[in-house]
Amino acid sequence: MVNTRVDLCGISIDNPIIPASGTFGFGYEFAEYYDINCLGTFSFKGTTKDPRFGNPTPRIAECEAGMINAVGLQNPGVDAVISHELPLLKKCFSKPVMANVSGFSIEDYAYTCQKLDACEQIGWFEVNISCPNVHGGGMSFGTSPEQAAAVTRAVKAVTTKPVFIKLSPNVTDIASIAKACEEAGADGISLINTLLGMRIDLKTKRPVIANKMGGFSGPAIKPVALRMVYQVYEAVSIPIIGMGGVSSAEDVIEFMLAGATAVQVGAANLVNPFICRDIINELPAVMQKYRIDNLTDIIGGAHHG
């Protein structure tokens, strides 16, 4: 009998499969299709201090082996998440949930995290300093070790729960930024967020999405994500949540060998709403195929040999 359980900053989860923020709503939407309690946990929709309508449409562009989105952090704001979304979630999800938080200033991040920290349902924070689809925030914090560390310190000062910092791949040295976050008190690192990409409509000769550029995700980015997880694992001693192009149980194993403790599934949820459930069901057989008895034994395994 294989063991799929992993420990994520002191919280044991049944398996390492986590739907990524922005692809799973606030959970209850997917609970209409299957029992989402089979998940290790999930990262809910990126939440900001104030409500956001998001970017103008069109916001989505399909492309080879992936998609580009520029939704722009549309969400109802932290107060509505606490008063409306979390109570709805509690009716269908009995496990701790990961709170994904974005901001446009260090004070924004701290304010939103402090409010959510009081919610019993929250198990971890995933602080997004890497969104490429907003102006004046998001990725501007994630491309500088100093700014990334400043956000980390501010959030850690007002929270009691583990804090994962979600990093951008749109940098030249991901390891130095991860190290700065660790030194500032981060409990873990999430990576990667989307790459910056675009599409141009040949008929109109204009960018397809109104924001011109957006976050590129899907199977095409998996090699970049794996490389960055591998590099960050060698730079830090805190847990890593890996993501980028994951769509199978084999992908999960590959990310864990690179150094991830848990693995998020993003764009694949938008193609197949059952994908996380299916990966969880497939995982034991894939573990047996590769003679893996305990998932925790393979974390970082590609570095030892």
What average pLDDT does this structure show over 234-261? 98
| pLDDT for 234 | 98
| Catalytic residue (choose from 9, 113, 131, 181) | 131
| pLDDT for 143 | 81
**Burial degree of 14 (CB within 10 A; 0-12, 13-18, 19+):** middle
Q: By percentage, how much of the chain surpasses pLDDT 70?
A: 96
Using 50, 70 and 90 to split pLDDT, how confident is the model at 260?
Answer: very high
Distances (CA, A) of 127 to 98, 124, 152, 187, 287: 10, 10, 8, 11, 31
| pLDDT for 144 | 87
State how beta strands 240-243 and 262-265 pair: parallel
| pLDDT for 133 | 53
- Is 181 among the residues known to form the active site? no
CA distance 250 to 208: 33
Residue-wise pLDDT for 17-69, tens only, equals: 999 999 999 999 999 999 999 999 999 999 999 999 999 999 999 998 999 99
CA distance 137 to 125: 18
Q: By percentage, how much of the chain surpasses pLDDT 90?
A: 92
Instruction: Match 């997880």 to its residue by tokens.
Output: 229
- 160 has a pLDDT exceeding 70: yes
Using 50, 70 and 90 to split pLDDT, how confident is the model at 110?
Answer: very high
- 223 has a pLDDT exceeding 80: yes
| pLDDT for 136 | 52
Using 50, 70 and 90 to split pLDDT, how confident is the model at 259?
Answer: very high
| pLDDT for 141 | 78
- 134 has a pLDDT exceeding 70: no
How much is the pTM?
0.96
H and E: helices and strands count for the chain: 10, 15
What average pLDDT does this structure show over 132-139? 53
Domains of the chain by residue range: 6-303
Dihedral sign computed on CA atoms, order 295, 296, 297, 300: positive
Supply the mean pLDDT for the chain. Answer: 95
**Closest to 98 in 3D by CA, of 155, 26, 160, 33:** 26
Q: Which CATH class is domain 6-303?
A: alpha beta
Using 50, 70 and 90 to split pLDDT, how confident is the model at 142?
Answer: confident
Using 50, 70 and 90 to split pLDDT, how confident is the model at 298?
Answer: very high
